[in-house]
Structure 1
Amino acid sequence: MRTGTIGRGLGLATALAALITGLCMAPATAVRAAPEPAPAVAAAPAAFTHPGVLVSRPQLDFVRAKVQAGAQPWKSAYDQMMASKYASLTRTAKPRAVVECGSYSNPNYGCTDEREDAIAAYTLSLAWYITQDSRYAAKAVEIMDAWSAVIKDHTNSNAPLQTGWAGSSWPRAAEIIKYTYSGWPNAGRFATMLRDVYLPKVINGSNSNGNWELSMTEAAIGISVFLEDRTSYDRAVTKFRGRVPAYIYLTSDGALPKAAPGSGLDTRDKIIKYWQGQSTFMDGLSQETCRDLTHTGYGISAVSHIAETGRIQGQDLYPEIADRLRHALGLHAKYQLGEAVPSSLCGGSLKDNLGPVTEVGFNALHNRMGIAMTNTQTLTQQRRPAGTDNLFVAWETLTHADNPN
């Protein structure tokens, strides 16, 4: 328990009495807030790896070789991507100076357009690298230039989340184009857009539902890599380390889930309310499981994406979160595969669908780290090729299925 400094004029007996009184008066339901996690050493690399947001050059080379060889599941995943609207060479970007997004994108003034243009830029950058057809790179540049010339702000209640979603996709595209294609004279203007319009909205996180802060943190880390901003990168990793244990529960946490630093969740009642009224906790339960599986999938996906980018940048975050991530994937995959939901879990009913979010985490934990993940493996393979959620997840069977790099 942290206590204040005892003044020089206060005797030892008085100090002890004051301490005992304070302990006795503390409310019985109080929960000690988690301290702000601080890495022992800086997280940012001495030199950033490019391209290095979610996908690296060795990963891209692996994918290109598999597609060219017609190997599965990569060829079918590639065909799916190329048949999508996001790979169209006739796409016209729809930038806005101010993107206004209310709750659940209502109102929707540019929200869908921005997210989908960002996914399109990423899709086209993948198409460019795999085909080496410069038309795809040029179209990605056209879309990124259109937005960097116009956008000034995001407003209304969903502005932080919207910025996080679009801000997660933009740097993936920008990294591939800047470091594998020579025709982007406005790359500096795009960097200014990320620095001035996106980063300030996401770098401080959010005390809303966990998928918000995780998506915002994913954007902050990706943007920091593109900008080579070590200070922001370190801040984002610290935020990640505080949020993941507060989003995915393990029995080793104790009777209650952990609270994120600064959340103000300092009583049992507050924590249970925040966890959607769930009072029975089990390995892999997410803070949003009893809300719906769609939002849970957003959170799990962002956790995987952040850890993947960290690994590419030379700081492997997977060992820190592997136990939580494997249990989260496994628990939700089990019920997505049809196992009956017990009454102790969300009243015996789970809503919606997890989405195309398992490939990155499964590849990292199962294929690279050798962790057995039977349910996650079954679900992942059944749902291949994984497509896009039209928000910030896209083509992860193509980029990460059995990718050893």
Structure 2
Amino acid sequence: MRLRLALTVVLSAATLTAALQASAAGHAAAAGRAGAAAPFNHPGVLVSRAQLDFVGANLGNEPWKSAWSALRAHSFASLSYTPKPRAVVECGPSSNPNHGCSDERNDAMAAYAHALQWYLTKDDRHAKKAVQIMDAWSAVISSHTGHNAPLQTGWSGASFSRAAELIKHTYGGWSNAGRFATALREVYLPTVVNGSANTNGNWELIMTDAAIGIAVFLDDRASFDKAVQLWRNRLPAYVYLKTDGAYPKSRPGSKYDTRDEIIGYWHGQTTFVDGLAQETCRDFGHTGWGIAAAAHVAETARHQGLDLYAEGKDRLRHAMGFHAGLQLGEPVPSWLCGGSVTPGLGPTFEVGYNALHKRMGIGMSRTQRLVEQGRPAGVSHFLGWETLTHAENPH
């Protein structure tokens, strides 16, 4: 009798445990289905349908009119543009050797130029040209090699993902879209999605720009989340705020984690103020790329319902304002970079400025002067026609 009762208790406990485990598994599966069911918004890599519809309604007005004319006049926008694909792109330091590096960057930006023209004119010749360029690359590309391979993959992957996203979701005639997706998934994404903890920060931010764009195009939630974490790790380690403490934060996982190592990593700078960047004392060209890429990531995330601007607005606004002032000719203080900086920001702040000033209402007088003086923003590596797509854009 006692044995039967004991067995009954054990079996009841086992039954209860199994039931609880089944219930937990059911909740986990349901949660997984709910997470998986949250769709990406398409098109939603750097530009959205609402943004481009706003642009289309304003092509006869400034500053979009001049920006549109500049795009249309560019060699990348020509219907006679011919891609130059290759299987292996080899890029050394500063793209030397340059075996396909410039060709790939140019072709990716040309694909984006034609995708924009397709959307804004509905002339399907531009959609077909964008498809021709992307198909040419997806047919052969197998790897990126050399010192600059991660950065090259970031530059090209960022532009290719924007072009592919627009064509896939607004044009119905891309039969090889799956092959291009495979190229992005197997050749580009693995190189950029894990970041670059110990290089200058513009590398990792540009790679993250590409990673988040590719993730959206592929509907890859795990890679999207990894890109967001890369951004959250890197931006606080790239742009300093006084609230960080006596010296800048170290990027998690970086080998630069002591005070002296961080100062060396920040190119010898020992005095830190709001908006100073890890590459300020290197040159403004690379710094501008880093800031622009950080804004790109936040812009794409915003299209997907994640407000990274809310997290990064203070770093971004101070970084843009600090460098814009010096680029405009403000005196360089003696404590900054030994009293001398290397200007040359390029067309870098349009996206971030529009997000923070136009949409969030943050006053940014120095950034505004620099952005407006530089309009229409041109093309550089992974930056293309951002006055056209983002100037004064409320969406």
Same fold (TM over 0.5): yes
CA distance in 2, matches of 1:101, 1:202: 15
* Segments ≥4 residues shifted beyond 4 Å: 42-45
CA distance in 2, matches of 1:239, 1:307: 12
**Residue number in structure 1 paired with 2:31:** none
CA distance in 1, matches of 2:240, 2:151: 23
2:58 partner SS? helix
- Residues 120-142 of structure 1 show CA distances to partners (whole Å, capped at 9, x for unaligned) of 00011001111111111100000
Work out whether residues 45 and 313 of structure 1, in 8 Å CA contact, stay in contact via their aligned partners in 2. no
2:319 partner SS? helix
**Residue number in structure 2 paired with 1:375:** 366
Query: What's the CA shift for 1:119?
Result: 0.3
CA distance in 2, matches of 1:161, 1:225: 20
Structure 1 counterpart of 2:50, from 45, 53, 58: 58
**Pair 43,220 (structure 1): closer, same or farther in 2 beyond 3 Å:** farther
**Residue number in structure 1 paired with 2:4:** none
2:116 partner SS? helix
CA distance in 1, matches of 2:323, 2:37: 34
**Pair 299,181 (structure 1): closer, same or farther in 2 beyond 3 Å:** same
Equivalent residue runs for 1:15-164 within 5 Å: 46-67=38-59, 70-164=60-154
CA distance in 2, matches of 1:324, 1:48: 27
Query: What's the CA shift for 1:44?
Result: 9.0
Q: TM-score if structure 1 supplies the norm length?
A: 0.88
CA distance in 2, matches of 1:258, 1:265: 10
CA distance in 1, matches of 2:101, 2:257: 35
Are 2:363 and 1:393 aligned?
no
Are 2:176 and 1:190 aligned?
no
CA distance in 1, matches of 2:117, 2:337: 42
**% of aligned pairs identical?**
66
**Residue number in structure 2 paired with 1:350:** 341
CA distance in 2, matches of 1:274, 1:342: 21
CA distance in 1, matches of 2:246, 2:284: 23
CA distance in 2, matches of 1:266, 1:87: 45
Work out whether residues 101 and 159 of structure 1, in 8 Å CA contact, stay in contact via their aligned partners in 2. yes
User: Which amino acid letter does the alignment assign opposite residue 53 of structure 1?
Assistant: V
Q: TM-score if structure 2 supplies the norm length?
A: 0.90
User: Which amino acid letter does the alignment assign opposite residue 60 of structure 1?
Assistant: L
Work out whether residues 327 and 343 of structure 2, in 8 Å CA contact, stay in contact via their aligned partners in 1. no
Work out whether residues 101 and 155 of structure 1, in 8 Å CA contact, stay in contact via their aligned partners in 2. yes
1:356 partner SS? coil
Unmatched 5+ stretches in structure 1 = 1-41
Unmatched 5+ stretches in structure 2 = 1-33
Equivalent residue runs for 1:283-298 within 5 Å: 283-298=274-289
Are 2:254 and 1:254 aligned?
no
Query: What's the CA shift for 1:265?
Result: 1.6
**Pair 43,76 (structure 1): closer, same or farther in 2 beyond 3 Å:** farther
Work out whether residues 45 and 315 of structure 1, in 8 Å CA contact, stay in contact via their aligned partners in 2. no
> How many corresponding residue pairs?
361
Work out whether residues 278 and 345 of structure 1, in 8 Å CA contact, stay in contact via their aligned partners in 2. yes
CA distance in 2, matches of 1:244, 1:352: 21
Query: What's the CA shift for 1:382?
Result: 1.1
CA distance in 2, matches of 1:370, 1:379: 18
CA distance in 2, matches of 1:102, 1:285: 29
User: Which amino acid letter does the alignment assign opposite residue 331 of structure 2?
Assistant: A
- Residues 368-400 of structure 1 show CA distances to partners (whole Å, capped at 9, x for unaligned) of 1110000001111111111111x1000000000
- Residues 70-104 of structure 1 show CA distances to partners (whole Å, capped at 9, x for unaligned) of 11000100000110011011111000100000000
**Pair 224,47 (structure 1): closer, same or farther in 2 beyond 3 Å:** same
Structure with more contact order per residue of length (Cα contacts < 8 Å, sep ≥ 6) = 1
Query: What's the CA shift for 1:352?
Result: 3.3
User: Which amino acid letter does the alignment assign opposite residue 305 of structure 2?
Assistant: G
- Residues 272-311 of structure 1 show CA distances to partners (whole Å, capped at 9, x for unaligned) of 0000000110100000000000000110010000000000
Work out whether residues 205 and 239 of structure 1, in 8 Å CA contact, stay in contact via their aligned partners in 2. yes
CA distance in 2, matches of 1:284, 1:224: 29
**Residue number in structure 2 paired with 1:215:** 206
1:402 partner SS? coil
- Residues 29-50 of structure 1 show CA distances to partners (whole Å, capped at 9, x for unaligned) of xxxxxxxxxxxxx999811001
Structure with larger Rg: 2
2:147 partner SS? coil
